[in-house]
Structure 1
Amino acid sequence: MRLSEYLHDDLILPELSAGTKKEVLAELVQAVVRRHPEVDAAVALGVLHDRESLGTTGIGDGVAIPHGKLANISDIVVAVGRSVTGIDFDALDMKPCHLFFLVLAPEQVAGMHLRILAHISRLLKDPQFRRAMIDAPDGKAFTALMRTT
């Protein structure tokens, strides 16, 4: 499985403008809505906020993987964003998050959703890969790096 199969260039955001957890989720969802107009932004944000209320998706090491399931999508959607400065995302290690992988899945799909989350986690356990993502000099380099996944 390759994560790049689920990533479209317009869903790779190398320079998030968000400054808060809420803004990160909104910015990622807006990118999804632009590409997938069938996604209701308010519903998607509600699902993500509900998931965050159960426990943070900020897994540590500068990484957050917000995720949820939606009734009105037919395929898994992945968006990735980067904040060079870092954003407080209530991460488990209490450090700012720099890399955000949003995963939205159809309600009826469980196996692939979990495989994608596991694949993202494995990729981001590699400190050199994380550092390369954070330190990519520009959007083009960041997007090229995401294409290798």
Structure 2
Amino acid sequence: MFPRLPKLTFATDLQWRRRFARAADDLAGDLAHGNWPQPTCTAEELALHLAIDDAGDSTDELDDTVADPHSTLPVHRDDYDFGACTDMFFQDTDVLMLYSSRFVGIEDPDGDANRRLGVGDLRAQFWFEPFGNITARDPHRGFRH
């Protein structure tokens, strides 16, 4: 997963990467507890974007002739509408600008483009700061072993 992150994360250290992995685990935990995944910080937001992207790619691999948990789920007309997931789960898609060469430097909150677009601080060291309008996760929740 780490090579798929924006280039500004490539120089991050092991602790940063552990925190990103925990962000992905937190979203998986939401789903395991029967809740919609709700990103609470930039790291979770990008982890969810990557998961939705992977889910869309993996639908070709589903084999309904084999008994698996997926085949026991009820069918719905919106199944596999991963575009709708983006509309439902994200407040915005600003973090995806980090992949575009058109927005070099957009991560810096002091930059002109960032201020003009109201993007916020997308520098890697701030990806784990909770969004101000969502309940933050327990900061003492620990890491998976």
TM-score > 0.5, shorter chain as reference = no
Rg: which structure is higher?
Answer: 2
Greater strand proportion: 1
Larger % of helix: which? Answer: 2
